[in-house]
Structure 1
Amino acid sequence: MFLLPHLLKRFVDKGRLVVIDEKGTSHSFGSGKDGPSVTMRLHDGKLDRELFLNPELVMAEAYMDGRLTFENGSTVYDFLYLFSINRKGLASHPVQQALRRSWRSLKRWHQANALGKAAKNAQSHYDNPPDFYRLWLDSQMIYSCAYFPTPDASLEEAQQAKLRHIAAKLKLEPGMRVAEIGSGWGALAIYLAKLGAHVTAINVATEQLAESKRRAAEAGVLDRITFFERDYRELTGTFDRVVSVGMMEHVGVNHFDDYFNTIKRLLVPGGWAMIHAIGRMSPPGSTAPFIRKYIFPGGYVPAMSEVFASLERTGMWVGDCEMLRLHYYWTIRHWRLNFEAKRPEVVAMMGERFARMWEFYLVAVELGFLHGSNMVYQLLLANERDAVPVIRDFITDDERALARAEN
């Protein structure tokens, strides 16, 4: 092993990483303090060069393929935790800096989500069999950040609280027309329909739409929800409210203005929209190569400066902005633990390589919300200055009223 030590000596400060190369020789890096001790074995001599040149992608691929394994009780969680607390050291290496500049120069090409391509990108992730997601999500199959009244709330409680929190921000009245952009497995549309709204829910993932219709019929509200397989740019009509949860991350930086202009066009005078999405508190960046290639092709988590710059260009008022800083960390921790408990069933259903890919993904994003710059934001947007109530007490008041009604 010749090249990789040059990177690891700079990278590993906190904790310790022991690398056993393909010849059985051990190499140790780090102080051993303030972090975990991780033992990793390389089964392929080519990994020395490959990891040095592109560690973030090759690490994931080598783990998926079994060319890299962990020993002495170490897990992929331990390694990625070590990575997350030492990430500044990796970013300081000249090779990594050059690689990141290259990624960022291609950012707009990576996120070119034209009509048709955007659907294929989304389907690559969301059109896995519903039974796979059913193994580790909550009973309503909500695949977005929950809202935790307390850190120790259950996932079921937190996801129900999220639906309630969003509905309170929408301040619905019976008979209102609501457009949902990116409807997932239908939980929010069902919740809003039960409150008396008429919901038009769009999605580009065929499997999700089929499951959504089944769930809406089971809940007795299919007559109040219209599901369409449609891109957000193709939605027509006007609505009292627009809601979009976990969708803006799939839009791509090239299309932020398209997204907000669509929402602007869909709103009736005096109406407003509620946007819930992942953002970053750091300056604009690029999507990590593993996430871009295997998990969310075309996806991008925007800096808040990019979100607000687009809103400035499209001329929408921000009536409210809330930052959920740790809620997604708690959410994904639940998902990851549920996934680990069901891992044998995942392997039986989808195969070992797929299970390792999702294992790596869930751990990486969980720790990204703990030690990285990611968070979730919720915006209320309108075309008029005074459409959203100017005192935000209405959110808390309606939320408590909804909780009383549920109980």
Structure 2
Amino acid sequence: MERLLSQVLARIVRRGSLTVIFASGMRATFGDGTGEPLTVRFTSEAWQRRIFFDPELKFGEAYMDGGAVIEEGDLADVLALLMAQVGLAVPSASAKSLMKLRFLFRRLAQFNPRDRSQKNVAHHYDLDGRLYSLFLDADRQYSCAYFEHPGQSLDDAQLAKKRHIAAKLLFDRPGLSALDIGCGWGGMGLYLAGNAGAQVTGVTLSQEQLGVARCRAEERGLAGRAEFRLQDYRDVPGPFDRIVSVGMFEHVGVSHFDEYFGKVAQLLKDDGVALIHSIGRSEGPGITNPWIAKYIFPGGYIPALSEVLPAIERAGLLVTDIEMLRLHYAETLKAWRERFLAHREEVERLYDARFVRMFEFYLASSEMAFRHQGMMVFQIQLAKREGIVPLTRSYIAEAEKALKEMERQNRPGLRLAGE
């Protein structure tokens, strides 16, 4: 088995320098010798066999369970090396067959009726709230930030993301009704209520997120303008002037795209504007990574635009703008990973060491997918009629400038102790 696995690694690793210490003690180095040397040790023949037959699933499990140990470098370095071999790696016949089989059954894996959607959301988003406070920004934005310039802090980049989305939604007068599909901990909805003068309805399937969102609305004095509900988007009555969905479409599943955009069309007023912010893949339809599907986002799927746009067309919606955010999510995930690892002992107290390794693998592998494997984020602006959105994009910068001023006015002032 070590000989077979060594042959596979020789086909995969063409650049870099990766040394593997097999369970027998045998060492082999792969790549062209460039870059920092990295070393991985397999702890048993059983783990080597599992990785050989299903590397996409089993390498992550091996790292979680101690079957693969990083002896030189770190996990992010190793994953970067492996995932950067795009165009050079030659997958084995068994790997190709397994991918074809998973593609064949992908609709079944992504079948998300209401009860299954609720369970899938709870799997990830109803974790202990203290976990997310350790690595997210202060507003708990759990989606791609918008880095306006190199070196911008995560908190500022997440604020810029909310501002950028609000600008595209054209809040040109106060009191417009807005639906936030998949509202998370309420940050986007509260931004729209507080800075754009919107009347917001946010829906989520996470009990944990719902409680936090409602408390934050009360604390900020926005409960009268921002209502949060535990509700499936398919059950929301309308209509609304504006609809926003940030980081939720990835949980819909390819079989439900028509249902999703049909509901958006039903809920959006004739002169309304919608903005869908989602992770996407630039290389055409694919499958959800099996490790991610099993441990992180069951039922989830990152779509290709070629799968999304036909569903939009069938719903009778007009695409008025598409923007691609390419490496913004890689930088977001890097910041999350660094913050997470800085608090790994606290996370281990909340859960255990295996959970820490699982979450580290999730953050590191996701970051490298954006850096090396064609993942990006798209923002699709939608309307039902021509002429609703300005003819040029200059309105976005103008709206962002006005929103920045509103943020400044709404920023709480400093108080002396005892005031």
TM-score by length of 1: 0.97
Taking the TM superposition and a 5 Å limit, the aligned residue runs for 1:117-136 are: 117-136=116-135
Task: Give the letter aligned to residue 343 of structure 1.
Answer: R
Find the counterpart in structure 1 of residue 417 from structure 2.
none
| Counterpart position of 1:268 | 269
Could you say which residue in structure 2 is the equivalent of 1:234?
235
SS of 1:23 mapped into structure 2: coil
> Which amino acid in the other structure matches residue 275 of structure 1?
I
Residue of structure 2 in register with 1:216 after alignment: 217
Structure 1 unaligned spans of 5+: none
Shift of 1:98: 1.2
SS of 2:96's partner is helix
Give the C-alpha shift of residue 391 in structure 1: 2.3
Q: Which amino acid aligns with 2:102?
A: W
TM-fit CA distance, 1:91: 5.2
Amino acid across the alignment from 2:159: Q
Shift of the alpha carbon at 1:24? 1.7
Secondary structure of the 2:178 match is strand
- Quote the Cα distance in structure 1 between the aligned partners of 2:84 and 2:167: 37
Instruction: State the distance in 2 between where 1:74 and 1:398 align.
Output: 45
- Secondary structure, in 3 states, of the residue corresponding to 1:311? helix
The equivalent residue for 2:152 is 153
**Could you tell me how far apart the structure 2 residues matched to 1:68 and 1:43 are?**
6
Counterpart secondary structure, 1:276: strand
Q: How does 1:31-42 map to 2 (within 5 A)?
A: 31-33=32-34, 35-42=35-42
Alignment of 1:97-136 (within 5 A): 97-136=96-135
In 2, Cα distance between the equivalents of 1:93 and 1:400?
53
CA deviations over 1:107-135 (Å, ceiling 9, x no partner): 10110011110111111011111110000
Kindly state the Cα deviation for residue 222 of structure 1 after the two structures are TM-superposed: 1.2
For residues 361-393 of structure 1, what are the alpha-carbon distances to aligned partners after superposition, in whole Å with 9 as ceiling and x for unaligned? 100111111111111111111111222222222
**Kept after mapping to 1: 8 A contact 2:86/2:372:** no
Q: What is residue 301 of structure 2 aligned with on the other side?
A: 300
TM-score, normalisation: structure 2: 0.94
DSSP 3-state at the match of 1:32: coil
Indicate the larger mover: 14-23 or 277-286: 14-23
Determine if contact 1:18/1:27 at 8 Å carries over to the other structure: yes
Deviations 1:122-168 (A, max 9, x none): 11011111110000100011100111110210001101111111111
Cα distance in 2 between the residues matched to 1:231 and 1:3:
48
Please give the secondary structure, in 1, of the residue aligned with 2:200.
Answer: strand
Counterpart of 2:242, as a letter, is: R
Letter in 1 for 2:62: A
Q: Give the superposition deviation at 1:171.
A: 1.5
Q: CA RMSD in A?
A: 1.2
Q: Distance in 1 between matches of 2:262 and 2:304?
A: 19
Query: Counterpart of 1:51?
Result: 51
SS at 2:32 equivalent: coil
Match of 2:315 in 1: 314
Amino acid at match of 2:299: G
Asked if the contact 1:90–1:96 (Cα under 8 Å) also holds between the matched residues in 2, the reply is: no
State the AA in 1 paired with 2:348: V
Which stretch shows the higher mean deviation, 245-254 or 325-334? 325-334
Question: Match of 2:178?
Answer: 178
In the TM superposition, residue 89 of structure 1 has moved relative to its aligned partner by 4.4
Percent identity between matched residues is 44
Kindly tell me: are residues 91 and 305 of structure 1, through their superposed partners in 2, closer, same or farther at Cα, counting changes over 3 Å? Answer: farther
Task: After TM superposition, give the deviation of residue 402 of structure 1 in Å.
Answer: 1.1
Tell whether the 8 Å contact from 2:170 to 2:273 is kept in structure 1 after alignment: no
> What residue is the counterpart of 2:163 in the other structure?
164
Task: Specify the alignment match of 2:351 in structure 1.
Answer: 350
Q: In the TM superposition, what is the alpha-carbon distance from 1:85 to its structure 2 partner?
A: 1.3
Do 1:271 and 1:382's aligned partners in 2 also have CA atoms closer than 8 Å? yes
For residues 97 and 268 of structure 1, what CA distance do their matches in structure 2 show? 46
In structure 2, list runs of 5 or more residues that go unmatched.
Answer: 409-419
8 Å contact kept, 2:244–2:276: yes
Q: Which residue identity does 1:335 align to in structure 2? A: W
Alpha-carbon contact 1:182-1:246 (below 8 Å) kept: yes
Q: Corresponding residue for 1:142?
A: 141
Alpha-carbon distance in structure 1 between the residues aligned to 2:58 and 2:335: 27
Structure-1 residue corresponding to 2:387: 386
Describe the SS at the equivalent of 1:307. helix
> What do residues 17-61 of structure 1 show as CA deviations (whole Å, max 9, x unaligned)?
21112222212222212x442211111111222111101111000
After superposition, give the CA deviation of every residue in 1:210-254 in whole Å (9 maximum; x if it has no partner): 011111111110121111111111111211001100011000000
Change (3 A) 1:382 1:91: farther
Structure 1 residue 74: Cα displacement: 2.1
Distance 1:91 1:339, change over 3 A: farther
Q: Displacement of 1:65 after TM fit?
A: 0.6
Q: Deviations over 1:259-288 (max 9, x none)?
A: 101100001120110111111111111011
Contact 1:241 1:271 in 2 (8 A): yes
Where does residue 80 of structure 1 map in the other structure? 79
What letter is aligned with 1:268? K
Cα distance in 1, alignment partners of residues 269 and 263 from structure 2: 12
Q: Does residue 1:192 correspond to 2:192, yes or no?
A: yes
**Equivalents in 1 of 2:225, 2:326: separation in Å?**
34
Shift of 1:2: 3.0
Contact in 2 for aligned 1:91/1:97 (Cα 8 Å): no
Q: How many residues are aligned here? A: 405
**Larger deviation, residues 385-394 vs 3-12:** 385-394
